Amino acid sequence: MSHITAAPHRWTLTRYLIEQRRRFPQASGDLNALILDVSLACKAIARIVAQGQLGDALAPVSTAVNVQGEQQKPLDVMSNELFIRMNEWSGNLAGMASEEMDEPRQIPEAFPRGKYLLVFDPLDGSSNIDVNVSVGSIFSILRAPADSVDTGRALTEADFLQPGAAQVAAGYALYGPTTMFVLSVGNGVAGFTLDPNLGEFVLTHPDIQVPEDTHEFAINTSNSRFWEPPVKRYVDECLAGSTGTRGKDFNMRWIASMVAEAHRILMRGGVFLYPRDTKDPAKPGRLRLLYEANPIGFLMEQAGGRASTGRQPMLGVKPSSLHQRIGLVFGSRHEVERIERYHHEPATREPEAPLFAARSLFRD
C-alpha cells in the first residue's frame, strides 16, 4: 500500500491498524480491537516492570510452579492476569492459552465470544527481572475453528494446535530502556515506541527488515556438550572466524531474554539458536512452540528473515501439545539456511575449529 509506506511517521498504533484494515473492506474491526486490547495489557505490564522494587510485583518470590515446572514469579502471574483481564470481556476471543496456564482458558459465560484465539507468553525472560535487564510479552493470534464459533462449545487444547503459518497476527512488547510494541498483521513488520506523555504506541519503525547476512550469533554455549553435530559445526565455524571456512570474524551475544534477542535481530540482523539438544530427553529444546517460536518466527519471516527448527521451517510445524518445546533457530536468512543445510548434510565432517578441539575451552 503506497500510502502506508509513503507517510507513516508518527502514526499511532490505532491509526496503523485502521490503515492496515483498509486492505480488507469487509473486515469487522475485531482483530484491530483485539490487538489494541493486547497493547493495553502490555502498557499495564510495562508500568509494573518500570516500578521495579518500588512496586510490589517483585516482592517475595512466590513458591508457585507453572506447568513447565518453572518457578513463577509474581510478575509472571500478574502479567498473565493482565492479559486475561484486558482481553476476556471484549467479544473478540473464543479462548486463550498461555505459558502460565496448564489448560486453555475459556471465556467466562458473562461475556460474548468471538472468533479469535490469543496465545501468549505474558513475560518472557523473567529471570532477568531481578537484574533490571529487558523482558517482554509475546503473543500470537489464531482463528478459532469455525465449529467452535458456530456452536459456542468449550475450546479444547486441540483447537490451539495450529501451525505457525495459520497465525493472523503476532507480536511482542519489549520492556527495555523504552517500551516498544512490534507487530505483524501479515503485511510486514512495524515497530512502535511507547510515548510516555501520550500513553500511546507511536510508529517509529514502519518497515522492519532483517538483513540477510550477519556476523553476530546468539547461543547459550554452556549447553555446548549437549548440542547436536550440525550446531557444533556451525558454532565452531563462527568461532574460527577469519581463520576458518567462514572467512570472517563473528561476535556473540546472549541476553537470556529471547524477546530481547529477537528485537536486536529485527533491528540489525543476527542469528539466534536455542537448538534441540540432548540435555533432557524429555525436552526437545528449551523454548515453546505456540507462544515463543511461532510468533517470533512469524515476525522474522514477515521481516525477510527466517525461522526454523533447524530441520524444517518453524511455521510449517504441526503442534502436538499446548506447551510443546522445540528447537528454535531464527534471524538473518542466509545464516538460518546454512544451519538447516548442516542439519541435512551427513555428519562426516572432521572437526576443524578450536572450540571442540582437544585442548579447547569447551571441549566435549
Point out which residues bind Mn ion (CB under 5 A). Answer: 99, 121, 123-124
In the bound complex, what is the minimum distance in angstroms from residue 63's beta carbon to Mn ion? 17
Sequence-ordered list of residues with C-beta below 8 angstroms from that of 325, at least 6 positions apart, any chain? 283, 284, 285, 286, 287, 288, 289
In the bound complex, what is the minimum distance in angstroms from residue 235's beta carbon to ligand AHG? 15
Phi first, then psi: give them for residue 326, nearest 5 degrees: -155, 150
Question: From the list Mn ion, ligand AHG, none, which binds 37 (C-beta under 5 to 8 Å, kind-based)?
Answer: none
Tell whether residue 252 is a contact of ligand AHG (CB under 6 A).
Answer: no
Tell whether residue 277 is a contact of ligand AHG (CB under 6 A).
Answer: no
Give dist(CA 71, CA 64) in Å, integer. Answer: 6
Would you say 32 or 140 has its CB closer to Mn ion?
140
State how beta strands 216-218 and 271-274 pair.
parallel
Of 211-250, binders to ligand AHG (CB under 6 A) are: 220
Of 99-128, binders to ligand AHG (CB under 6 A) are: 99, 121, 124-127
In the bound complex, what is the minimum distance in angstroms from residue 76's beta carbon to Mn ion? 6
In the bound complex, what is the minimum distance in angstroms from residue 65's beta carbon to ligand AHG? 12
Tell whether residue 62 is a contact of ligand AHG (CB under 6 A).
Answer: no
Tell whether residue 134 is a contact of ligand AHG (CB under 6 A).
Answer: no
| Region at 241 (left for phi over 0; alpha for psi -120 to 50; beta for the rest) | left
How many other CB atoms sit within 10 Å of the CB of residue 320?
9
Tell whether residue 257 is a contact of ligand AHG (CB under 6 A).
Answer: yes
Would you say 105 or 325 has its CB closer to ligand AHG?
325
Tell whether residue 39 is a contact of ligand AHG (CB under 6 A).
Answer: no
Tell whether residue 64 is a contact of ligand AHG (CB under 6 A).
Answer: no
Question: Residue 299 to residues 34, 256, 292: CA-CA distances in angstroms?
Answer: 18, 19, 11
In the bound complex, what is the minimum distance in angstroms from residue 265's beta carbon to ligand AHG? 12
In the bound complex, what is the minimum distance in angstroms from residue 213's beta carbon to Mn ion? 28
Position among 50, 65, 252, 256 found at the interface with ligand AHG (CB under 6 A): 256
Tell the residue number behind the cell numbers 538473518, with chain if given: 332
Would you say 92 or 98 has its CB closer to ligand AHG?
98
Q: Give the footprint of ligand AHG on this chain (CB under 6 A).
A: 70, 99, 121, 124-127, 220, 256-258, 274, 286
